[in-house]
Structure 1
Amino acid sequence: MYKNRIDNLRKSMKSKGIDGILLIGDHNRNYISGFTGDESYAIIGLEKSVFITDSRYTQQAKEEVEEMEIREYKGKIENFLRDTIEELNIKKIGFEENIITYKNYVTYKENFTCEMIPLEGIVEELRVIKDKNEIECIKKAASIADKAFEKILQFIRPGTSEKEVAVELEYWLKRYGGSALSFPSIVASGERSALPHGQPTDKVIRMNDFVTLDFGCVYQGYCSDMTRTLVMGNASEKMLHVYNTVLKAQEEALKSIKPGLTGTDIDKVARDIITSEGYGKYFGHGLGHGVGREVHENPRISPAGSNVLKPGMVITDEPGIYIPNEFGVRIEDLVLVTEEGYEVLSKSPKNLIII
């Protein structure tokens, strides 16, 4: 598996005209190496690859890293990196311009004898198409989220606070096997449900409130992401109309997912439905995004989403309507693009749940 990833990366390196890559960011480095820790370095040459870490992680690297020589550094890391780069005869090395700080860039530039060239996302592009093992990890992360949601339905009641719900969610996501949260859980009730990324507060959930729950976990390095909106007690006619509009938009967009379409194509399906019901100005974000080692990856499913969908991509489908000072609704599934169309990985019900 890791040999194939390194081989594919080397093909990308050659097309970019570089003969080495320095990986520092956790997601890219661990994707290529198999390492699960942090604060380490991977140098990929055209013939040889070296994994560099310190004494805290040496044993872990020996147990986890594949297809690379493990080296433990002492002293200044920039000197150790320079010496390794020269040993591998690398003349042009690609670096993660979105990861390396300006301070580090200046330090490396002063020490390295090779030319430094921005990678411009070539590793992230490899990560867009998930292999069988990655898909299984994402499916597991999604199933953990589904199980946690079942527990939340038993826990959430009028009188509980948003923060209490968020704490309970985190407990069950980890209790069922998640190693971490994909992102800080969103729990927003009543008028706060109109905040697309409303973080939980001490606000008490009241009768007749909508409650939006957006959450996910990490399983073996891969994320899940799901949103459901509940109602406490009774929903008004307007609330029901908005909910059903979002649900229709979500389901019709889902049905349209297949290889060959762009993110813009899928976004338009949902956006046209919401606009036709008079709520277009209340749907301000893109329909979705890719999910993998990070909870927000390519492809983008939005009006600007020019990426063409391909089998093996994992994306979200999450339209929403957010009416300021009233309420909001978002419904989100995690979806695998398949050869024939799509597979929904989020199994929790989408009909309006009344607590």
Structure 2
Amino acid sequence: MHKERISRLRNLMKSKDLDGVLLLGDYNRNYISGFTGDESFLVVGLEKAVFLTDSRYTQQAKEEVKDIEVREYKGKVEETLNSIIEELGIKKLAFEEDIITYKTYMNYKENFQCEMLPLDGMVENLRLVKDSYEIECIKKAASIADRAFEKILQFIRPGESEKEVAVELEYWLKRYGGERLSFPSIVASGERSALPHGQPTDKVIKLGDFVTLDFGCIYNGYCSDMTRTIAMGDPTEKMLQVYNTVLKAQEEALKSIKPGVTGADVDKVARDIIKAEGYGDYFGHGLGHGVGREVHEGPRVSPMGTNVLKPGMIITDEPGVYIPNEFGVRIEDLVLVTEDGFETLSKSPKNLIII
């Protein structure tokens, strides 16, 4: 698996006239190498690759990193990296320009005997389409989220605080096998549900509130992401209208997902429905994003989403309407693009749940 990823990376390197790549960001380095730790370095040349770490991770790297030589450094890492660069005959080295700080870049530029060039999203582009192992890991992370949601429906009641609900939700995400959270869980109730990223507070959930729950976990290094909005007691006519509008937008956008369309095409389906119902001004974010090793990665599913969808991409479909000082609704599924359409990975019900 990782041998094939290195091969694909080298093909890209050749197409861009590069003979070396330096990876130190956790997501890209671990994607290519199979390592699960942090604070390590991967130098990929056209014929050989070297994984460099310190004594804290040497044994772990030797167990996890296959088809790549593992070395331990002592002293100044830039000197060891330069010796590897010279050994591999690298003259043009691409680096993660959005990971390395200016200070580190200047340090490397001073020490490395090669030309340094921006990587320009090369590895991120490889990560856009998931292989079978990645898809299975994300499916498992999504199933854990579904099971945790079942449990939270048994727990959540008027009188509980948003923080109490978040703690319970996070317990079940980990209890069912999540390594950690994909992102800080969102639990926002009542007027606070109009905050798209409302973090849980001590606010007590009341009868008549909408409660938005946005959460996910990581399984074998891969993320899930799901949102459901539920009602505490009977909703008002306006609440029902908004909920049904968001649900229709979410489901119609889902039907439009297939290879060959762009993220902007899918976004437009949902956005047009919400605009037609008069709530266009209350849907300010993009419809979705890619999910993988990071919970927010390519491709974009928004008016600026130019990537053409391909089989193996995993994206979210999450329209929302947020009316300030009243309430908000968001419904989100995790979706796999298949050869002839899509597969919904989030299995939790989307009809309005009233507690």
Q: TM-score range by the shorter chain?
A: over 0.9
Residues 282-293 of structure 1 correspond to what in structure 2 (within 5 A)? 282-293=282-293
Structure 2 distance, partners of 1:245, 1:8, is: 43
Q: Per the alignment, in what secondary structure is the counterpart of residue 124 of structure 2?
A: helix
Structure 2 distance, partners of 1:218, 1:17, is: 36
Structure 1 distance, partners of 2:64, 2:348, is: 34
Q: Per the alignment, in what secondary structure is the counterpart of residue 213 of structure 1?
A: strand
Residues 336-351 of structure 1 correspond to what in structure 2 (within 5 A)? 336-351=336-351
Q: Deviations over 1:221-271 (max 9, x none)?
A: 000000000000110000000000000000000011000000111000000
Superposed displacement of residue 16, structure 1? 1.3
Aligned residues: 355
1:94 aligns with 2:89: no
| RMSD over equivalenced CA pairs, Å | 0.5
Q: Per the alignment, in what secondary structure is the counterpart of residue 126 of structure 2?
A: helix
1:193 aligns with 2:193: yes
Aligned to 1:44: 44
Residue identity opposite 2:344 in structure 1: V
Structure 2 distance, partners of 1:203, 1:14, is: 56
Aligned to 1:158: 158
Residue identity opposite 2:22 in structure 1: L
Q: Per the alignment, in what secondary structure is the counterpart of residue 306 of structure 2?
A: coil
Q: Deviations over 1:297-324 (max 9, x none)?
A: 1110001111100000000000000000
Structure 2 distance, partners of 1:345, 1:88, is: 43
Residue identity opposite 2:35 in structure 1: F
Structure 1 distance, partners of 2:162, 2:82, is: 50
Structure 2 distance, partners of 1:154, 1:101, is: 47
Structure 1 distance, partners of 2:72, 2:8, is: 26
Name the TM-score, length of structure 2 as normaliser: 1.00
Q: Per the alignment, in what secondary structure is the counterpart of residue 299 of structure 2?
A: strand
Superposed displacement of residue 15, structure 1? 1.2
Aligned to 1:302: 302
Structure 1 distance, partners of 2:36, 2:177, is: 16
Name the TM-score, length of structure 1 as normaliser: 1.00
Residue identity opposite 1:247 in structure 2: L
Structure 1 distance, partners of 2:169, 2:346, is: 16
Query: % of aligned pairs identical?
Result: 79
Structure 2 distance, partners of 1:214, 1:116, is: 40
Residues 203-282 of structure 1 correspond to what in structure 2 (within 5 A)? 203-282=203-282
Structure 2 distance, partners of 1:165, 1:101, is: 38
Residue identity opposite 1:122 in structure 2: M
Q: Per the alignment, in what secondary structure is the counterpart of residue 335 of structure 2?
A: strand
Q: Per the alignment, in what secondary structure is the counterpart of residue 265 of structure 1?
A: helix
Superposed displacement of residue 155, structure 1? 0.7
Residues 9-158 of structure 1 correspond to what in structure 2 (within 5 A)? 9-158=9-158
Structure 1 distance, partners of 2:188, 2:103, is: 39
Q: Per the alignment, in what secondary structure is the counterpart of residue 322 of structure 1?
A: strand
Structure 2 distance, partners of 1:280, 1:334, is: 23
1:329 aligns with 2:321: no
Stretches of 4+ aligned residues off by more than 4 angstroms:
none
Structure 1 distance, partners of 2:175, 2:80, is: 41
Structure 2 distance, partners of 1:63, 1:35, is: 9
Gaps of 5+ in 1: none
Residue identity opposite 1:279 in structure 2: Y
Residue identity opposite 2:37 in structure 1: G
Residue identity opposite 2:272 in structure 1: D
Aligned to 2:182: 182
